[in-house]
Amino acid sequence: FKNPTIIDIHLFERLQFQATYDELTQVYNRRFILYILKKELERAKRYKHDLTIVLFDIDNFKRINDVMGHLTGDKVLKLFANVVKDNIRIEDSFGRIGGEEFLLVLPETPISKAFPLLERIRDILAEISGEKMFFTFSSGIAGFPQHADEEITLLHSADKALLRAKLEGKNRDYIFYKE
């Protein structure tokens, strides 16, 4: 902008926010969290550090929307996003990649360190969500260097683990394993 006005600056800030964050949940949007994954994976390769990703899916989300309504579904998404956001380290990144799916990027973190975090999130959700809005999540976990060294392959590995968690009864976490 040449000689920007207050309105121009405000518009620029709004556009920047929309390009980076999911409007509903206020966590990173798909484009930005995938960009972060790419950068963190490059850094992990360069410095030979661990990198763990967790792909989340809220269980029975369609049913929540159908039975309790979309406003309740939105509350579930916001609550889940806030609980995760409030319980991760500053160096971790969290974003919504679509619908009821979220991605957590844990730099310099071995896979084993993800499990205490996931249990803490489950415990907090069970405590604050109450019976009226009780919901669970499943997650698929994959890591560099053991599972993949490219972001698309790492995501695919986490997705396969997530599918297994769903098929095994939901409300659980699975690590990717090669069949």
Active site residues: 100
Pairwise CA distance, residues 89 & 45, whole Å: 21
Q: Which amino acid is at 16?
A: Q
87, 75, 71, 85: which is closest to 134 by C-alpha?
75
Integer-rounded Cα Rg, in Å, for the chain is 17
User: CA separation (Å) from 111 to 20, 74, 118, 147, 160?
Assistant: 27, 30, 11, 11, 16
Pairwise CA distance, residues 47 & 2, whole Å: 41
Q: Where are the beta strands (DSSP E) in 14-113?
A: 51-58, 93-98, 101-107
